[in-house]
Structure 1
Amino acid sequence: MARFHVIIPAAGNGSRMGAEAPKQYLNLHGKTLIQHVIKVFDQSTKINTIHVLLNQEDAHWRSTYLHSSSKLQVHYCGGDTRANTVLNGLIAIENQVEADDWILVHDAARPGLSNRLLNHLLSMLENDDVGGLLAMPLADTLKRADSEQRVSATIPRNDLWQAQTPQMFRYATLKKALIAFGGSPTDEAEAIEALGLKPKLVIGELQNLKVTYPQDLAVLSALLSSS
C-alpha cells in the first residue's frame, strides 16, 4: 500500500520579503511559518514522513525552536532552484520510499494549510492515476503589461487557476519529471505536465496563500485570526 511523504523545500532566502531572516523563519501567531507547516503534517495520521530541505549555509534552523516530530528529517541539500532542491530531496530519501509512494511538496512559507484541506486533498488524489495539486480559480481580471508597465492586453480568466501547494505525485513519476524537464519548472505540476500527464486540480482555500511580500503576512494573520 502506498505511503505518504512530505517534502518541504526551505532553501530560499526570501529576498522579496526584505527581512533579516528567510521568510520561513518569520513569526506568525507565536510560531515560525515553517513550524505551522510542519505541525499540520505531523497531526495527519496518513502522513508517514516529513522532510525539510535546507541550504547548507542555513544558520537559522538550529538556533530557532522548532516543533519536534518523530516523522521529521532534515536534509541539507538545497539547490540553486526550487526544482533542484526538490530533486535533491527525492534522491536523499530514495532508500526510504517505494516507487509508487505519494510525495507531497509544500512551500515552507505557506503556513495556512488546514487539516481539513489536507485531508480533502489526500482523499481526492490517493486513488488518482496522475496526482494533482491544490489551486484556486482566478477571480480577478488579468492584464498583460508592456515594457513601460502599461496594459498591452486583457487575458480572459475563464479556466485559469492559481496554483497552491501541496502538489502530490508518485515518487518515481515526480523524480522522472524533474530529471527530464528542460530548464527549471515553476512548480512540480509543470514538470509532470511536460511528461504529457494532466494533474488534477483540487480547490484550495484563500488562507493557504504563500507569504511572499510583507503585506502577505498581515493578510494571513488576519485570516487565521478569524477562522
Structure 2
Amino acid sequence: MTIAVVIPAAGVGQRMQADRPKQYLELAGKTILEHTVERLRQVPELGPVWLALAPDDGYFAATSLAASPGIYRVNGGRERANSVLAGLMAIDERQYPWVLVHDAARPLVQVNDIQKLIKRCLETGCGGILATPVRDTMKRGMGTKEHTQVLQTVERADLWHALTPQLFPTAQLRQCLQQALQQGAAITDEASALEWAGLPVLLVSGRADNIKITQSEDLQLARFYLEQQ
C-alpha cells in the first residue's frame, strides 16, 4: 500500500523575520522545503506529495520541486488546518487510504522514525503521531506577555512534545478536520482534530533532533544536526 503525503507550506513564518517564508530559506545549498521533501522520498512506503502553498507563492517555481514528478500543488488556507484539508480534498482515499502529514519546516526527520510510525499505525489500524517525552520541568504561567509569573509546576510524567509526521486514515482525517473547522474548534495539529472527535491517537516515540525550524537560531541548529546526520 502506498501512503499519500500532505505538506502544509502556506505560512509566511513571521517569527523568522526573514525576507521570505521560512520553508524557502537555504539550508546546506537547498531550501528547507526541498530538504524536507527529499527526506520523505527516502521512505519507500510514501508516494505522491501534495504541497499546500499560498496562492501568491512566488518562490516555489524556482525550486527543484516545481518540475518533479509526483509533486502536486494545491492552494493552502489561512490556517494550517485549512491547508491540510485542501490537500486532503485532492486525494482519492480509495487509492490512498492512509495519509501522512508533515511540517514543511522539519527537514531532519529520520527515515527510521517514519517507518516506525507507519508500522505501528498499520498494525493497529489507528492513527498516530511522532512525539518525544517532555524532559524539562514544566511551568504554567499567568500574566501578560511582558510580565509573566509562575502559576504552578505541571507534572511532566505524561506530557509529550507533539512532532510530525502524523499518520491517519485519509477519509477519517478529512471528516474530522471538516467537522472541527465547521464547529470553530481550535485545531493546532491533525491529532487534535481526532481528539476533538473522541477518536484515539497513538503516541510513537521519535528522535529529539526532529526539530521544527521556527526562529533564526533553529536554522543554526538544523545546520549542525544535518552535518551530524
Task: Give the CA deviation at 1:29.
Answer: 1.3
Structure 2 distance, partners of 1:85, 1:184, is 15
Matching residue of 1:212: 214
Matching residue of 2:205: 203
Q: Partner letter of residue 82 of structure 1?
A: R
Q: Does 2:51 align with 1:52?
A: yes
Question: RMSD across aligned C-alpha pairs, in angstroms?
Answer: 1.6
| 8 Å contact from structure 1 (residues 41, 50) kept in 2 | no
Helix, strand or coil for the counterpart of 2:124?
A: coil
Structure 1 distance, partners of 2:67, 2:109, is 19
* Cα deviation 1:90-142 (Å, max 9, x = unaligned): 1122xx33287111000000110122222222122122222100000000011
Give the structure with the larger helix fraction: 2
Matching residue of 2:31: 32
Residues paired across the two proteins, number: 223
Task: Give the CA deviation at 1:56.
Answer: 0.3
Query: Equivalent pairs: percent with the same residue?
Result: 39
Q: Partner letter of residue 79 of structure 2?
A: T
Q: Which moved more, 1:21-30 or 1:121-130?
A: 121-130
Structure 1 distance, partners of 2:186, 2:114, is 27
- Structure 2 unaligned spans of 5+: none
Task: Give the CA deviation at 1:41.
Answer: 1.9
Matching residue of 2:124: 128
Runs of 4+ in 1 over 3 A off after TM superposition: 64-69
- Structure 1 unaligned spans of 5+: none
Q: Which moved more, 1:195-204 or 1:163-172?
A: 195-204
TM-score normalized by the length of structure 1: 0.93
| 8 Å contact from structure 2 (residues 3, 96) kept in 1 | no
Q: Does 2:136 align with 1:140?
A: yes
TM-score normalized by the length of structure 2: 0.92
Q: Which moved more, 1:24-33 or 1:65-74?
A: 65-74
Matching residue of 1:192: 194
Matching residue of 1:4: 3
| 8 Å contact from structure 1 (residues 5, 50) kept in 2 | yes
- Name which of 81, 84, 103 aligns with 2:82: 84
Structure 1 distance, partners of 2:25, 2:202, is 32
Q: Partner letter of residue 189 of structure 2?
A: D
